[in-house]
A and B are shown apart, each in its own frame.
Chain A
């Protein structure tokens, strides 16, 4: 009743092949976008932006990136943290080497550099598959973190080995550094997140995305029908790493402001992003958002409920959080391997028939 497509006719091919062919979906998307751009900046506070919205937006980009590689192309990667570190350090080097260039371009360039590094580490995927590839990307993770810790050129020879984001502006408004306004950083990241989502959605709908999915479903069959595995796998690594690099750059420059590579971009980061796409839904752009939102908001909500409302000791709540996240991952893997995105799809199917399911 509320969600239906009756009377929603497409009369041209472009209408039929748009991202949201159903009118209701399309309007919902416009409303969400309008609220995010026109309403949210006015209610943004330091607390909201730093504990929920910035991590959500930035992790969403990383999750989209990993989802392209793992969810769409079927190449398991545990190197996300390392690739985020590449984005962060590339952004830092660019920011300090070319202070006059706008930070916006630095972030994009950082993504480009990460894409090159990602392609390099993607080369073994042509020979090895599955678990073995996961181990190879794990090696990338450890190697990259070690590299950024060891070679002091990457952190401009600072005594502590930390990198600190200098102040940079967009249209005269500060988006990095300590004196930023909450709405400015929020909008800056929102632009990247929306851009990444639109780009990823259209890539995965097109011929490139279909190649990735063919490789994912059965690489030998894909090769026989004329999909070039070299091209498909390496483009997946490149595009995925680009998104992950952009998220790493934003994570360092806009969100944290100071980064120590081993602590921020360690193996736990790789697993966190992997959990996001598992819980959110492999092979779904919406799933990347849902998973990122879930894993960013869940600890905050648990803390507010446990510590502020119930008055439990902070360590009990922190331990509970591990138990709950672990339990949820097992639950999703068993009950709904396609994640929150599939729950959303099922809900839509049900609503379509409601109230007459037969």
Chain B
């Protein structure tokens, strides 16, 4: 009980910190724990883009940006604490990079009127903006990913009668695609085999033994963190053909394939944005951020897949902030205005080129009804000798005929559980 006095002092300190007039972008990052390998590059990319905006353009619309970093360790309790600690500072949009934390924050952010952007993760049915007013998951979601993988396999040949295994992280994240894949397996007549891997996934001998025994034609993986490396290593150990092994975008970074060395050659992963550092914006990052000594973290992640994804997330957030500034005619926007900006966001090829990212991602519009974007999925492949990922297909449409009813169903059940009246 004697600690209460101490907490008062802490609270007084928190209250006394000055409120600066800048655009606050909290970054609930994780640079520690079993998922740090994925968390670090994303957080670096996110921070570097805002540093670039400050250094090159003087912020967004003349207002400096500030990235407020808070370490969550991929832990939901710390995520909630980070949210409560940062929301009072005028935080404009949350990007927790964790499906677990997303589930915590969906009701909280909605109650507090702060938007949340879960790019390619989180609750897939948040694509239905009529129910999830403050949650956005453009440009693509898990179910687009599942359908994209199946579409890709169909483009390679007939899949009827084939056996496809799903190796998934046994959590809300990994379970997301199961329903979609089940529907798709009915529609296209392939056999689905489910293989769960428990957190954190360092031990997968029995799972891969099962795969070796059952010999699925293809393996799709929904993994994250250390689970990816182990899975690819185990696949190599049982000599599973890498070109039949497809990871979701969270299982397709350099960190995942490098430990397996040459054995990982040919491994495929889905993506919803471009790969590599062959874009004009990286010259600016080198000039304004790296050479100025302001790169986030160790500065050694630039151009990696997850760094690019962090950069992309930051770019979409900055563009939404610009849109919000235009709509409301003020440079100093509030979280409510930011939400309007995200809902009116338009990404065109011309805009991307202007930002130095030509062809980096698809063009799309967000609307009140559709917070999920178009869901265009591309495929990348790892070249172990060159040490690079390369895009091997166009960004193509996914099977919304299957996905949309599932989104409607899941969001309707959320709405009824929480007494939300759907509408725009």
- Residues of A that sit less than 8 Å from B by CB: 32, 35-36, 40, 43, 45-48, 50-52, 55, 146, 149, 159-162, 164, 166-167, 177-179, 256-258, 260, 262-264, 266, 289, 293-294, 297, 300-301, 303-304, 307-309, 313-315, 317-319
Contact = CB atoms under 8 A, between A and B. Distances in A.
Contacts of A162: 103, 172
User: Which of A36, A43, A256: most chain B CB closer than 10 A?
Assistant: A256
B171 A262 contact: yes
Given A47-B84, A166-B417, A314-B29, A159 B108 contact: no
A256 B77 contact: yes
Interface stretch (B11-19, B275-283, B388-396): B11-19
Interface in B295-314: 297
A159 B171 contact: no
Contacts of A177: 107, 418
Contact of B84 (A46, A149, A297, A307): A46
User: Which of A48, A258, A289, A293: most chain B CB closer than 10 A?
Assistant: A258
Contacts of A260: 76, 100, 103, 171-172
Interface in B58-93: 69-71, 73, 75-77, 80-81, 84-85, 87-88
Given A48-B7, A262-B170, A159 B178 contact: yes
A163 B46 CA distance: 31
A47 B107 contact: no
B-side binding surface: helix, strand, loop or mixed?
helix
Contacts of B40: 315
B418 A166 contact: yes
A264 B111 CA distance: 23
Contact of B32 (A50, A309, A319): A319
A167 B29 CA distance: 30
B77 A304 contact: no
Contacts of A297: 3, 6-7
Interface of B: 1, 3-4, 6-8, 10-11, 13-14, 17, 29, 31-32, 36, 40, 69-71, 73, 75-77, 80-81, 84-85, 87-88, 99-100, 103-104, 107-108, 110-111, 123, 170-172, 175-176, 178-179, 196, 198-199, 297, 410, 417-419
Contacts, number: 127
Given A162-B103, A300-B10, A51 B69 contact: no
A258 B100 CA distance: 8
Contact of A161 (B8, B85, B107, B172): B172
A44 B391 CA distance: 52
A140 B198 CA distance: 16
12 contacts: A46-B87, A47-B14, A50-B80, A51-B80, A52-B7, A149-B198, A160-B99, A177-B107, A297-B3, A300-B81, A308-B17, A318-B32
A256 B178 contact: no
B104 A293 contact: no
Given A51-B81, A160-B123, A304-B14, A263 B75 contact: yes
A166 B10 CA distance: 32
Contact of B10 (A36, A46, A50, A304): A304
A48 B11 contact: yes
B107 A178 contact: yes
Nearest to A259: B76
A256 B107 contact: no
A81 to B, nearest CB: 13
A50 B29 contact: no
A318 B73 contact: yes
User: Which of B71, B81, B198: most chain A CB closer than 10 A?
Assistant: B71
A161 B10 contact: no
Contacts of A262: 170-171, 198-199
A48 B36 CA distance: 28
B76 A256 contact: yes
B85 A51 contact: yes
B317 to A, nearest CB: 19
Contact of A257 (B17, B71, B107, B198): B107
A14 B179 CA distance: 64
A257 B85 CA distance: 18
A222 B84 CA distance: 50
B32 A164 contact: no
A263 B7 contact: no
Nearest to A269: B77
A263 B100 contact: yes
B290 to A, nearest CB: 17
A159 B11 contact: no
B192 to A, nearest CB: 15
A289 B107 CA distance: 31
Nearest to B406: A159
Contact of B71 (A45, A167, A263, A315): A315
